[in-house]
Amino acid sequence: MSQSVQIKGTKSGIILVLDENVSFAELKEEIADKFQEASSFLGKHKMGLIIRGRMLSESEQEEVVGIIVNNSNLTITCIVDEQSTTERLFNIEKEERALEEKSASLESQEEAVSAAASALAYDNSALIYTGNLRSGQDISCEQSVILLGDVKPGGSITSYGSVFVLGELRGNAFAGAGGDREAIVMALKLDPLQVRIADAIAISPDAEKGPKIRFKKKKLVNTDNEPEVAYIDNGHIVKTSYGTSFLRQYNK
Amino acid sequence: MGEVIVITSGKGGVGKTTTTANLGTGLAKLNKKVVLIDTDIGLRNLDVVMGLENRIVYNLVDVIEGNCKLKQALIRDKKYETLFLLPAAQTKDKTSVTPEQMKKLTEELKAEFDYIILDCPAGIEQGFKNAIAGADRALVVTTPEVSAVRDADRIIGLLEANEIKKTQLVVNRLRPDMIKRGDMMSADDVIDILAVELIGQVPDDENIVVATNNGEPLVGDSSLAGQAYMNICRRVIGEQVPFLDLEAKKGIFSWFRKK
């Protein structure tokens, strides 16, 4: 893959690093490709744009914004010119605070982003935690999480990677918090209030009629003691038993 | 312009959260636009009583800190279109919010809702101060026990000191049989001690426990407690409703007797 175009993200905007030695036409194609690839990860946000590495004329800047908007769900609110620190607004409401923050702490944010990016790159490490997570307690980290215990209702785990609960998961779990749609949530008993993976969210069905029914359901589930797993299939979170058929599909 | 009502008690376990849930649901039943705010940060349970626990994504602290828009954090009720819940955070504590911030929040909500009902935590510390900051009216919940009445008295004093214009009393968990025997204070006895306006008397009712466990407030159903809560709602919106005769025994014979 050529490196003539690089995209970096910060909390309030994206930085586009362009190669000076490539023709503008080539760059445009490259930008289109890059944003198409990343559109699902970048999601639907309003952002500022910072262009580095190459000076662009006004009309060129506008072309670049057009390409980004057409190839992703992003809305570009402004272009930040780092030399003169003036911002050019694009008729959408300006988020003053975000901008101020951006010019003030650009450096520190970049550091944070590169740290997050390295975590995203799946270094296959995991945090192992022993004990129960009760209501109000939470684990949130960049690695995957392995929990030797239960997550009670009100407890929650947030991870950039996957979540494995060797116990009952009855609270909340958020896997792939950085946008990784391959992340999974696995538990010996998966009966959560909420499971989120990347940008998808699933909530537990409402108890229809009282504690008696709920109790019965519980017993039914208990009859087959298989671990369960939740993952994204076609943009929706699905739950299935963690067995050979799931693994075959997952390892593909 | 909406009205901000805080449900408070001082003592724990007297039924603040149950009253909040039933009052909110009842007002929604009367076609009012209502938002319930759980201010018990760190020990939230209004969401559980309302049966909306599984829908929480953002909470009060997220709204205050600006992590999300207010609209995003409001959870619509399962049954009533005009009823919303703003849940408390579970992983923070009461100091994450200041009275000024709460006041600003309730002011914002007033524009859009008829009633903003705040579920206050037990105690008189920061959580209590947050909850009463923006309140126009307070409903003090008490049970007919000396300990609860003592705390209610203290709370009423604090509410007066904070210039809450209107303070009304809900006497919860009354048992007519015990009152008859003279083993329990009646609502009138409690009023004599506290000297505030009575807005409701709710009998001790098994159905409350069932409804709480089901996550469905019982206000407005045929049970005595359900009727009592509905009457409170009517009085809140300004109707004149006579107090329930708690002695009325339910059952087929009493039904005949009434006819």
- Measure A201 CA to nearest chain B CA, in Å: 10
One-letter amino acid for residue B24 of the chain? G
Query: Do B90 and A153 count as a contact with CB atoms less than 8 A apart?
Result: no
pLDDT, greater one: B23 or B258: B23
Tell me, what's the pLDDT at B58?
Answer: 94
Instruction: Provide the shortest C-alpha distance from residue B112 to chain A (in Å).
Output: 23
DSSP class of residue B238 equals T
Q: Do B78 and A206 touch (CB under 8 A)?
A: yes
Chain A nearest-CA residue for B66: A97
pLDDT of residue A93: 42
Query: B221 touching A, CB under 8 A?
Result: no
φ, ψ of residue B176 to 5 degrees: the values are -55, -40
Percentage above 90 pLDDT, chain B: 92
The encoded tokens of residue A87 equal 């911002």
Work out the pLDDT band at A2, boundaries 50, 70, 90.
low
Question: Is a pLDDT exceeding 50 seen at residue B159?
Answer: yes
pLDDT at A48 > cutoff 80: no
CB contacts of B51 in chain A (<8 Å) are 206-207
Statement: residue B257 has pLDDT above 80: no
The mean-pLDDT minimum among A25-29, A102-106, B71-75, B165-169 falls in A102-106
Give the tens place of pLDDT for each residue, B78-105. 999 999 999 999 999 999 999 999 999 9
Q: Is A146 exposed, middle or buried (0-12, 13-18, 19+ CB in 10 A)?
A: middle
The partner residues of A138 in beta bridges, in order of sequence, read A156
| Chain A CB within 8 Å of residue B166 CB | no
Give the separation between CA A42 and CA A72, rounded to whole angstroms: 8
In angstroms, the CA B28 to CA B135 distance is 19
Contacts of A66 (CB under 8 A, 6+ apart): none
Compute the Cα dihedral for A130, A174, B98, A104 and give only its sign: positive
Residues from chain B contacting residue A201 (CB–CB below 8 Å): 57
**Partner-chain contact B53 A135, CB within 8 Å:** no
From chain B, the residues in CB contact with A153 under 8 A are: 53
Domain ranges of chain A: 5-92, 106-250
Residues of B with Cβ-Cβ distance to A209 under 8 angstroms = 214
Q: Which whole number is the average pLDDT over A128-140?
A: 91
**Position A182, amino acid:** E
* Chosen from B59, B68, B77, B91 to mutate, greatest number of chain A CBs within 10 A: B91
Average pLDDT, chain B: 93
Among A70-84, A151-165, A235-249, B208-222, whose mean pLDDT is lowest?
A: A70-84
CATH architecture assignment, domain A106-250: 3 Solenoid (2.160)
Do B54 and A193 count as a contact with CB atoms less than 8 A apart? Answer: yes
**Which residue has 């819940």 as its token pair?**
B85
Q: How far apart are CA B165 and CA B134, in angstroms?
A: 11
Confidence of residue A216 (pLDDT cuts 50, 70, 90): very low
Q: Are A171 and A137 in contact (CB under 8 A)?
A: no
Contacts of B53 in chain A (CB under 8 A): 153, 193
- Pairs across A and B, CB distance < 8 A: 35
Q: Is the predicted pLDDT of residue B73 greater than 90, yes or no?
A: yes
pLDDT grade for A82, boundaries at 50, 70 and 90: low
pLDDT at A245: 86
Helices (H), chain B: 16-29, 46-50, 60-65, 70-73, 99-110, 126-132, 146-161, 176-181, 187-194, 206-214, 224-236, 252-258
Binary contact (A137, B55; C-beta < 8 A): no
What number is the average pLDDT over the span A60-65?
82
B90: domain range?
3-258
Predicted pLDDT of residue A33: 83
pLDDT, tens only, B113-140: 999 999 999 999 999 999 999 999 999 9
Number of structural domains (chain B) is 1
E strands in A142-245? 144-148, 156-159, 163-169, 172-175, 185-190, 194-197, 200-203, 228-233, 236-241
ipTM: 0.73
Which of A193, A194, A210 lies closest to B210 in CB terms?
A210
For residue B42, list chain A residues with Cβ-Cβ distance below 8 A.
136
Structure tokens at B211: 């409804």
Q: What percent of chain A has pLDDT over 90?
A: 29
> Which of the four pLDDT bands, split at 50, 70 and 90, describes residue B226?
very high
- First-to-last C-alpha distance (Å) of chain B: 43
Bridge partner residues of A9 (DSSP) = A14
Do the beta carbons of residue B36 and residue B86 sit within 8 Å?
yes
What is the model's pLDDT at position A77? Answer: 74
Nearest CA in chain A to B90: A136
Residues in chain B closer than 8 A to A206 (CB atoms):
51, 54, 78, 215
Option in B42, B54, B215 nearest A203 (CB): B54
Reported confidence tier of residue A16, pLDDT bands at 50, 70, 90: confident
Q: Is the pTM of this model over 0.80?
A: no
pLDDT at A85 > cutoff 50:
no
- The vertex-A46 CA angle with A42 and A50, nearest 5°, equals 80
Residue A94, pLDDT score: 44
CA distance linking residue B99 with residue B114, whole number of Å: 21
Please state which of the ranges A209-213, B37-41, B182-186, B193-197 shows the lowest mean pLDDT: A209-213
**Nearest chain A CA: its distance from B96 CA (Å):** 14
Q: Token pair 């101060």 is at which residue? A: B129
CB atoms within 10 A of CB A4: 20
Question: What CATH class is the domain A5-92?
Answer: alpha beta
Indicate which CATH number applies to the domain containing B105: 3.40.50.300
